[in-house]
């Protein structure tokens, strides 16, 4: 029997709207699950159950039924919230109490969502691991930087959580934890009230257990309610697999997962899914993404570096130093090359292919909590601003999830979600 805390958000929302389920009962079930599992998973920075129950009771009396009416969610502790501290994964901001919500949080609340609390982020959404463990095996990393959001959803604590990606911080933790991670087209969701890491790359996304819930969550986050409905595919999609120029780093289980997804797509859509390589302009694109990210990050962290350097990790100080050493000429040239590459990938994903099947990560989650894994297979797509979604379609040799990433052209989020939903339901 499915417990209330295991219900997908889309199903729970319909039940609430039909008066077949009370938000308060759903919230209490999630709270019970959090109390049971949090000592092991440690996904949360702070919760306020009394406030959530109070909000649920109010919504149960309300007739203003938004698309998230009565649905609980968690927010990465990188996003401003007026009723919770926003600590950014750093002691520097231990007592940071914003006066307002980040734009996407405000929109989710306006849609009827109930914020249960703030989930763990790595230090300023970078690479140093936090306290969160992988729900499938607590000795393994959940990935990062959106560690707590991925783990909380994977552990059935909540149906929805928000995250951010600058390199691979939605796709990788979702893959490691075995949930659906959706990074929409760059700019789809407002960055208002979000601590910036790299402005030309930062993108907000979602963690859910179904593709329908991913569509619902980002529809609420963006205010684009049309995205909440997954459309039937009217035209056979053109699908290819692509390991990128970093494909030699992919593990055996990742290669197998890609092959499995390709066969699944061929069977569903009655088409071939051949292997392709990207044009040569993409050969060094992962390194270029890293230079842009750290050059911009050095400026984003200039206040913390100048005023609170002793409270920054050695790892982050090293990355700031590396970014500061990148010349403006190099940075400017990298932006020009990136824009040329975007034009190239736009053409490829318009004229030749609709969907690319690619690795989400090198392989399964790595053992230990100090590091969160390598974002290498997300860097190119993030730099290009493309919508991406990872699906838990395979299990590796350590009985840990292996994700498969789907990529579409900028602005074609609806098609991406439709294809992803078909693969998940096969």
Which sequence positions are flagged as catalytic? 76, 145, 169
Identify the bridge partners of residue 371 per DSSP, sorted by sequence position. Answer: 128
CA nearest to 285, candidates 385, 186, 185, 204:
385
Query: How deeply is 19 buried, as exposed, middle or buried, from its count of CB atoms within 10 A (0-12, 13-18, 19+)?
Result: exposed
Q: Is 415 within 8 Å of 215 (Cβ atoms)?
A: no
Tokens coding 424? 């998940």
| Residue whose structure tokens are 């992988």 | 134
Query: Closest by alpha carbon to 87, among 123, 51, 116, 52?
Result: 123
Do residues 127 and 145 lie in contact, with contact meaning Cβ atoms separated by under 8 Å?
yes
Half-sphere exposure of 275 toward its Cβ, with a 13 Å CA cutoff?
A: 9
Question: Which two three-digit tokens encode residue 9?
Answer: 């958000």
Which residue in the block uniquely carries the two structure tokens 């092991």?
Answer: 40
**Residue carrying the six token digits 């002691």:** 91
Q: Nearest Cα to 42, choosing from 155, 127, 126, 144?
A: 155
Q: CA-to-CA distance for 405 and 171, rounded, in angstroms? A: 8
Give CA–CA dist 303/103, Å, rounded. 23
Instruction: Please state the φ and ψ torsions of residue 47, each to the nearest 5 degrees.
Output: -130, 160
The two tokens of residue 16 are 């609430």
Virtual torsion, Cα 100, 229, 26, 121, nearest 10 deg = -50
- Token reading at 402: 């292996």
CA distance 181 to 170: 6
Q: Which residues contact 56 (CB under 8 A, 6 or more apart)?
A: 22, 23, 24, 26, 27, 70, 114
């Amino acid at each position: 029997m499915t417990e209330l805390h295991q219900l997908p958000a889309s199903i729970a929302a319909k039940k609430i709207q039909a008066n077949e389920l009370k938000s308060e009962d759903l919230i209490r079930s999630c709270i019970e699950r959090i109390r049971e599992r949090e000592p092991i998973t440690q996904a949360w920075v702070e919760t306020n159950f009394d406030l959530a129950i109070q909000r649920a009771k109010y919504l149960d009396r309300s007739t203003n039924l938004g698309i998230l009416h009565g649905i609980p969610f968690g927010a990465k502790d990188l996003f401003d919230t007026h009723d919770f501290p926003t600590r950014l994964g750093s002691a520097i901001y231990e007592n940071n109490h914003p006066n307002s919500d980040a734009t996407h949080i405000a929109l989710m609340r306006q849609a009827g969502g109930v914020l249960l609390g703030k989930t763990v982020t790595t230090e300023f959404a970078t690479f140093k691991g936090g306290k969160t463990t992988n729900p499938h095996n607590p000795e393994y990393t959940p990935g990062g930087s959106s560690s707590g959001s991925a783990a909380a959803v994977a552990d059935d604590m909540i149906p929805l959580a928000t995250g951010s990606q600058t390199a691979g911080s939605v796709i990788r933790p979702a893959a490691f934890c075995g949930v659906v991670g959706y990074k929409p087209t760059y700019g789809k969701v407002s960055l208002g009230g979000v601590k910036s890491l790299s402005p030309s790359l930062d993108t907000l996304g979602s963690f859910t257990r179904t593709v329908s819930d991913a569509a619902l969550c980002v529809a609420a986050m963006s205010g684009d309610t049309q995205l909440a409905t997954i459309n039937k595919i009217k035209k056979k999609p053109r699908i290819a697999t692509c390991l990128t120029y970093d494909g030699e780093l992919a593990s055996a289980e990742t290669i197998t997962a890609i092959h499995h997804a390709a066969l699944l797509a061929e069977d569903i859509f009655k088409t071939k899914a051949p292997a392709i390589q990207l044009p040569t302009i993409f050969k060094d694109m992962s390194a270029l993404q890293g230079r842009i990210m750290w050059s911009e990050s050095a400026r984003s962290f200039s206040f913390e570096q100048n005023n609170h350097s002793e409270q920054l990790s050695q790892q982050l100080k090293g990355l700031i130093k590396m970014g500061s050493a990148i010349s403006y000429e190099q940075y400017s040239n990298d932006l020009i090359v990136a824009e040329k590459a975007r034009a190239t990938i736009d053409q490829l994903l318009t004229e030749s292919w609709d969907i690319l099947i690619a690795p989400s990560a090198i392989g399964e989650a790595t053992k230990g909590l100090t590091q969160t894994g390598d974002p290498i297979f997300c860097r190119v797509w993030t730099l290009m601003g493309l919508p991406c979604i990872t699906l838990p379609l395979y299990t590796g040799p350590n009985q840990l999830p292996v994700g498969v990433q789907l990529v579409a052209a900028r602005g074609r989020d609806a098609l991406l979600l439709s294809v992803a939903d078909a693969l998940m339901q096969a």
